[in-house]
Amino acid sequence: MTVDEVLAQGAPPIVAILRGIRTQEAISVATALLEAGIRLIEVPFNSPDPCGSISAMVEALGSRGAFGGGTVTSIALAEQLAGAGGTFLVSPNTDPAVIARSRELGMDVLPGFLTPTEAFAAIGAGARDLKLFPGSVLGSSYIKAIREVLPSATRVWAVGGVGPANVAEYRAAGVFGIGVGGSLYKPGDDATTVGARAEALVSAWNAAN
């Protein structure tokens, strides 16, 4: 499924970032997230076996959510992600070549940016969704300010330091969505723990609407 297909079904625009997850636990943790209402799931490429984890989740749960890769910093990694069945790509930086190739492969892209220059470079390469990273460094006031100069169709996602305690602040500033990593999942966390955290995050997101 694509990001837009998942969102069209009513899922919140929350990306769960499973950095460090192992392939043997990927399905159980992803199932817990899906049941809690988080249906956008990212496995960063600095995890033990990102393509194996993504492939396993797509095969078992592909009809229930969108599964993608993060920390994708090269065309080669983008091609590996597409080969694993990933439907969206997240990066910590803005690389027009990676964005363009990922779009050619049919994947949604969420390139990372911090400055207006990076944001417009990503938009020029074909990105509609932009990941402000790290989101907590400049905060919600920066998001509100930068949205005033971006094209109206651009969707800003805040990643880094966003969670249940401050999601209302970021929503009020105009973020389209968020990405959450360590406060949802850390290596070694079991599916029950992750599911409970996901439920709390979804509740906080909905309450801030």
Q: What amino acid positions are annotated as catalytic residues?
A: 42, 131
Q: Read off the CATH number of the domain in which 25 is found.
A: 3.20.20.70
Task: List % helix, strand, coil for the chain (3-state, nearest 5).
Answer: 45, 15, 35
Q: Among residues 102, 166, 160, 164, which one has the least CA distance to residue 128?
A: 102
Q: How many domains are there within the chain?
A: 1
Full pLDDT tens readout for the chain, 209 residues: 999 999 999 999 999 999 999 999 999 999 999 999 999 999 999 999 999 999 999 999 999 999 999 999 999 999 999 999 999 999 999 999 999 999 999 999 999 999 999 999 999 999 999 999 888 888 899 999 999 999 999 999 999 889 999 999 999 999 999 999 999 999 999 999 999 999 999 999 999 97
d(CA 149, CA 161): 24
Q: Give the structural domain span for 11.
A: 3-207
pLDDT value at residue 125? 95
pTM of the model: 0.96
